[in-house]
Amino acid sequence: MIAEEDLWYFKTAGFYKVRETLPDDLVERLNAATDRQIADLREPIVWEEKGARRQENVRRLSKIFSRDAVYLEAATHPIILDALEGILGPNIEVLTNKHNHIMVRPSGSYPVPWHAGEEPYDHTLITGLIYFEESTVENGCVRIVPGSHNRPFVNPRRPQAQRDDFYDSDHYYRALPIPMPRGGVLLFNDCCYHGSDTNCSAHSRRSMTVAYRAHDAHDVIKDDPEKILVRGEKVYTGHPHPYPIPVRK
Ligand SMILES: O=C(O)CCC(=O)C(=O)O
């Protein structure tokens, strides 16, 4: 479970580095599965450059939960769900229609432009970045603007176009780079502004991006096909009708 001070940090800064890392054998299986997906050029893929179906041009593999069971195994590992339970409560879902992808980020991969995933009034999603390879400043680690999930003003969620200058942004000056170890897990409030620089190393920088949320206390319809319950139960904890009257003893 996440410690109280870590929860305070997460709520204030908007992100949290899970202390433990995923076991080595799991990370090896994640990489082996990803090697196969890249070798087969299995779609859906986002390419670095349009029009060149080559392995070294694979930027992102989409819809990963339907590609190999190892990806959901990693996304639901107890070190992640234990930390999330402290943030989201006991009933946790993974979304299949948000994120659900691997950033392959080959050598030379262009930046991920500055963006916030959700509007600041919609604090429901926690993004999990799960690292198959070490992420460093050189290979374009993610950068997050601490506290930006709590901005009191409205500004565009996606201020940059895909190939804008990464450094020509207020977000660049406000953000912190967050290097991560192989097998590491970074959780952040998806309302935070974030982006990542060019991969200037000779190798890829693989990580998997997962969207988590609490099962909504007021969700009456329980069979949403885009949500996978990964811990707890789909209970209705709103106001039931008719309201059960407590029995007087
Ligand atoms: O891993 C990164 O560099 C950026 C992650 C991200 O924004 C995403 O996967 O949507």
Alpha-carbon distance of 6 to 96, in angstroms, equals 28
* pLDDT at 39 (0 to 100): 98
* pLDDT at 99 (0 to 100): 97
CB of 129 within 6 A of ligand 1: the answer is: yes
pLDDT at 234 over 80: yes
Q: Residues of 32-66 as b/e, b for ≥16 C-beta within 10 angstroms?
A: ebbeebbeeeeeebeebeeeeeeeebbbbbeebbe
CB of 194 within 6 A of ligand 1: the answer is: yes
Alpha-carbon distance of 51 to 46, in angstroms, equals 11
Ligand 1 atom closest to the Cα of residue 101 is 9
Protein residue with its CA nearest to atom 8 in ligand 1: 209
For residue 176, how far is its CA from the centre of ligand 1 (angstroms)?
14
> Which one, of 105, 69, 80, lies nearest residue 207 by Cα?
105
* pLDDT at 1 (0 to 100): 83
- Beta-carbon contacts of 56 under 8 Å, excluding residues fewer than 6 positions away, are 106, 107
Mean of pLDDT values over 102-122:
94
> Which one, of 39, 41, 43, lies nearest residue 64 by Cα?
43
| CATH architecture observed for domain 4-48+55-231 | Sandwich (2.60)
| pLDDT, tens only, 18-45 | 999 999 999 999 999 999 999 999 999 9
Tokens 């410690």 found at: 3
* 228 phi, psi to nearest 5 deg: -110, 120
Alpha-carbon distance of 113 to 145, in angstroms, equals 13
